[in-house]
Structure 1
Amino acid sequence: MPGTAQHTPRSHQNSATPHSTTTRSHRAAGSDSAGSNSTTHLLGPGYRPAPAETTHTDLAVRGTLPPQLDGTFLRIGANPRGEHDPAVRHAFAGPGMVHGLRLGGGRAHWYRSRLLRDDALARELGELPVPGPRHGRAGEVNANLVRHAGRTLAVTDGALPLVLDADLRTVARTDFDATLPGGFCAHPLTDPVTGELHAVTVDPAGGAAVLLTVDTAGRVRAARPVPVKGRPWMHAFALTARHTVLFDLPVAHDAAEARAGSPVPLAWQPDRDARIGVVPRERPDAAPLWLDLPPCFVFHPVNAFEDAEGRITVDVIRHERAFDRDRLHPSESAPTLWRWTLDPREGAVVERQLDARVQEFPRIDERRTGLPHRYAFTVELVPGDGAALCGPALLRHDLVAGRTDRHAFGPGRQGGEAVFVPRHATAPEGDGWLLTLVYDPAADRSELLVLDTADFTGPPVAVVPLPVRVPHGFHAQWVPTGW
């Protein structure tokens, strides 16, 4: 990785090499002003919605699927119905669609796609509404997938999770046995030590972020409010062994966008502070510590951990801004990999850019969630591409050795978020396989790639060609059989 240099807080976007800076904590007032719209990016053919649900069985395999891969690879994204015009439709809007490939015994048994049944879609299809409670935000669930307490859940910010069966059908809406007081979030995290599921959601009335802990039986055992100003969009957060790390950044709910009918009423608010919060996980009486940052936005942190002296390391994909000039697409600036080192005793944050390549969708070996990590896997993006959901290569960052390896998909081919599967339960960190969907525009088809991390830059050990195109989506998940 390149070396570091000093920078001013607003110089990140234009840098070609990594930088570092320090800021100190204080409180200041925000505002509700928003940036102006910019010209939208027209997206390529890989973003067209799938026209219908489909199932295909007994798929061909090139190469050899490792026998240890016994489970289902899942990918979720928005799949708008009817006329799709990315110049006027928000990139995050549309009913969710889940795509799945069932692997086992060295075979690819099936691929299927299923639309997630929110109430509006059920009415459109003439179906009965999905059973379950109806509090929380109504509407589409299309952001992410998580497996917890024996259930596969589709989740999004503010809405109740949807429960999926093994064939990807929507079978219920859940509030965790009436223990969830409001909506849920798009990026819950599982503590690998306790097995509990953690989430952060923002009260729709504003004024508080709510930190949720869901126990291993699937019931909310703690819901802790943390005061915030207005309604920031806390799309994600991070965990350490002892703390929850909150991102209170300048993207927030925008009343004017909501009145105009935006399905995703978010906007960059330049007068709003950017700050990071540190909240003790098991001390509900302890006040959160807020540390100021230069203005930025984080859709996806990599991971966080703390040392014996109480310093907290947070690795993130950092955007200079989001939903400012372009209210419809998520990447009007060039996101890159950064490390924030928080020193609660000094009230300071040291920022350092780890890699200057444009990238998003970070994943780690999730056995290291909240613990020191060595490897991060990201999707390399094309600079200036407002789509931001796919790119020409995967990157593997060795954050200890300071080395980055690149796996290119081939000319014109575009891949999305990869999910890591360890070779076995006690394998060393990062030893296993990466699974990702890659779209080939020349054939207008997609395929599942299986990469062995022992030969990350080499050819895939297995490829499962699909008879259809899978639209570029948001997030991927692996559900082992019998888990």
Structure 2
Amino acid sequence: MPPTNASAPVTEEVTAYDLPVSGTLPPELNGRYLRNGPNALGLDDPGASSLFLGTGMVHGVRLRDGRAEWYRNRWVRSAMVAQALGEQPRPGPVFEGMDFASNTHVIGHAGRTLALVESGPRPYELSDDLETVGPFDFGGTLPAGYAAHTKLDPRTGELHAITYRWGRPDAVEHIVVGADALVSSAREVPVTGGPMMHDFALTGKYVILYDLPVIASTDAAGGSTVPYAWDDTHGARLGLLPRDGSGVRWLDIEPCWIYHTLNAYDDGDRVVIDVIRYPQAFDMAKFEGTGTPTLHRFTVDLTGGKVAEQRLHDRAQEFPRVDERVVSAPHRYGYTAVSTTVPAGVEDLQDLDDDAFGSVLLKHDLVRGTVETHGFGRDAAVGEAVFVPSSAGAAEDDGYVMAFVHDPDRGASDLVILAAQDFTGAPIATVHLPVRVPLGFHGSWIPSGDLS
């Protein structure tokens, strides 16, 4: 049987130094690997029974000079969390009373470390060693709430986001933050029904919006679930919002649900968008759809106003990532994690294949149309992987793929580092953590240049 505790919350904060390493850490890996996810404080935590509403906990490993200097895990101190831990609330600008311990993503921008969540709350800033500084509003320039997913344009240094919130069903907002950590642009885009926009896509010319049938729902509001539900009457469409400031262009697509974007780019009079697509109704309460989430491509014909759809790979998968240097530009490679969805009718998990428990990462070569697989063992558990280039000028797949992997034999987790160009080979380094890192959401590699 697979481990039953791979997603269970941990109960304490840990700091450990000089972590043991199997293999050899590349000396050029100088920075922090951070990952965020829900980790309830206890059974009394309002988010204890919800994947979305659990208190955020950031886990991190600091690498430098071929050593793993430290591991830390810290709860994000919203006012409620600080009070529960017997601490004073951190000062900072909370928007419309929406104070939440961000549990979805953690990024670095302009020398700051930011924990993110969607649908209204502002980010929480963290120190280099993951202590909570306080809510962050980009120097007073953020007009409202923020988002769980951002896209950094590597050519301009601008950080893009699409924000939405349950209490504002008639519009979403495109926020651009400059390299100076100040909001340089905030544009409202009218919508109806309050669609949930967990992610979006960015090209050199466009911001791509996903207006899909998961919308604000008063029936779902309250309790231990998020206030959004599938609505067959809403329809589905892609919105092309020109980055030059002109109005959005909407194009209809078949009803589906999209959590995450791999990447997108302009291709002459076309726009190419690669995503993980759920083909049928998505149940927000159970965090699952009735179809298989697959890597999928939308190709927008700008002249004819049509959208072509193509499934790129049949395997169930999620958490797509690319080399961040190619965001908004043509990409060749992408990395995903095999989905842990259990097929209908399967009652004995021993009947499933070895890779059914989220113990497999995939590397897609989208030029050749090939896929490489790296498995971590039947009872292991791996989530999202992050690509790190070996140098600033390295080729797109010349670098490393890293992820937290639960080791059931130790009852703890490892930070596993693969050579991207030898993806199926043995890890080049494995950092052995003293504790388990619960399966969570998203993370980032923040190089030393982003550290204070």
2:50 to 90, 100, 121: 90
1:349 aligns with 2:311: no
Structure 1 residue 202 displacement after superposition: 1.7
| Structure-to-structure mapping, 1:295-314, within 5 angstroms | 295-308=255-268, 310-314=269-273
1:458 matched residue in structure 2: 425
Structure 1 residue 390 displacement after superposition: 7.1
Structure 1 residue 332 displacement after superposition: 4.9
Structure 1 residue 328 displacement after superposition: 3.2
Deviations 1:262-291 (A, max 9, x none): 4521211121111100010112xx221111
Distance of 1:197 and 1:381 partners within structure 2? 29
| Structure-to-structure mapping, 1:357-396, within 5 angstroms | 357-384=315-342, 391-396=358-363
Q: Which runs of 5+ in 1 are unaligned?
A: 1-41
1:412 matched residue in structure 2: 379
The answer to whether the 8 Å contact 2:274/2:295 transfers is yes
1:123 to 72, 83, 107: 83
The answer to whether the 8 Å contact 2:341/2:356 transfers is no
Deviations 1:45-97 (A, max 9, x none): 10110111111111111000000111111111000122399999221111100
Identity %: 46
| Structure-to-structure mapping, 1:465-480, within 5 angstroms | 465-480=432-447
Q: Which has the higher contact order (CA 8 A, sep 6+)?
A: 1
Structure 1 residue 414 displacement after superposition: 1.2
Structure 1 residue 186 displacement after superposition: 0.4
1:172 matched residue in structure 2: 134
1:101 matched residue in structure 2: 61
1:71 aligns with 2:31: yes
The answer to whether the 8 Å contact 2:105/2:442 transfers is yes
- Name the amino acid aligned to 1:313: V
- Name the amino acid aligned to 1:77: G
Structure 1 residue 138 displacement after superposition: 2.6
Per the normalisation by structure 2, the TM-score is 0.92
Aligned with 1:305: secondary structure?
strand
1:275 aligns with 2:233: no
Check 1:448–1:43 CA distance in 2 against 1; reply closer, same or farther (3 A cut).
closer
Per the normalisation by structure 1, the TM-score is 0.87
The answer to whether the 8 Å contact 2:47/2:55 transfers is no
Check 1:290–1:381 CA distance in 2 against 1; reply closer, same or farther (3 A cut).
same
| Structure-to-structure mapping, 1:181-220, within 5 angstroms | 181-203=143-165, 204-220=167-183
Check 1:476–1:83 CA distance in 2 against 1; reply closer, same or farther (3 A cut).
same
User: How many residues get paired?
Assistant: 436
Q: Which runs of 5+ in 2 are unaligned?
A: 345-354
Distance of 1:266 and 1:110 partners within structure 2? 39
2:351 matched residue in structure 1: none
Structure 1 residue 442 displacement after superposition: 3.4
Distance of 2:323 and 2:84 partners within structure 1? 40
4+ long deviations beyond 6 Å: 84-88
1:317 matched residue in structure 2: 276
Structure 1 residue 303 displacement after superposition: 0.5
The answer to whether the 8 Å contact 1:98/1:114 transfers is yes
2:350 matched residue in structure 1: none
Aligned with 2:6: secondary structure?
helix
Distance of 2:68 and 2:251 partners within structure 1? 48
- Name the amino acid aligned to 1:221: S
2:192 matched residue in structure 1: 229
2:352 matched residue in structure 1: none
- Name the amino acid aligned to 1:206: P
The answer to whether the 8 Å contact 1:45/1:441 transfers is no
1:81 aligns with 2:41: yes
1:436 matched residue in structure 2: 403
Aligned with 1:46: secondary structure?
coil
Deviations 1:199-247 (A, max 9, x none): 1012532211111111111111111011100211011100000110000
Distance of 2:76 and 2:292 partners within structure 1? 31
CA RMSD of aligned residues (A): 2.2
Deviations 1:83-132 (A, max 9, x none): 39999922111110000011111111111100001111112122111111
Distance of 1:277 and 1:154 partners within structure 2? 27
Check 1:194–1:311 CA distance in 2 against 1; reply closer, same or farther (3 A cut).
same
Deviations 1:380-408 (A, max 9, x none): 1234279x997111100000011100011
1:339 matched residue in structure 2: 297
Deviations 1:332-390 (A, max 9, x none): 5321000000112211110000000000000001100000000000001234279x997
1:28 matched residue in structure 2: none
1:114 matched residue in structure 2: 74
Distance of 2:180 and 2:3 partners within structure 1? 42
Distance of 1:394 and 1:421 partners within structure 2? 15
- Name the amino acid aligned to 1:175: D
Aligned with 2:220: secondary structure?
helix
The answer to whether the 8 Å contact 2:357/2:378 transfers is no
Check 1:144–1:397 CA distance in 2 against 1; reply closer, same or farther (3 A cut).
same
